Amino acid sequence: MAFAETFKALSDPERRKILELLKTGIMSAGEIASHFNTTGATISYHLKVLKKADLIFERKEKNYIYYQLNVSVLEDIMLWIANLKEEGTNVKEE
């Protein structure tokens, strides 16, 4: 799994904000853009990066494109971190 791309995608604060917005449900690019002061082109670029990192899905409905969180990749990251943490706690100092 391409963790490199996932973490790179997550390193940008605007992209993290997009994910936080999508947590409440699916949204169109326009709805997402309305929460930012940047250009539509910037939001499109962020959506492309998030999609390439498998953090979001594109969903076509009628003539509109909606974006949706991909929970399974978030679960993969959580598993990787949980695994690190598990044995990390064995060496944690009081």
| Site residues for a second copy per CB under 8 A | 3-8, 10-13, 16, 19-20, 22-26, 68-69, 71, 74-75, 77-78, 80-92
Three-state DSSP at 67 gives: strand
CA distance 36 to 40: 9
Give the burial string for 64-84 (b: 16+ CB within 10 Å, else e): eebbebbeebeeeeeeeeeee
Nearer to a second copy, 12 or 40 (CB): 12
We find the least distance from the C-beta atom of residue 74 to a second copy, in angstroms, to be 5
The least distance separating a second copy from the CB of residue 6, rounded to whole angstroms, comes to: 8
Compute the least distance from the CB of residue 69 to a second copy, in Å: 4
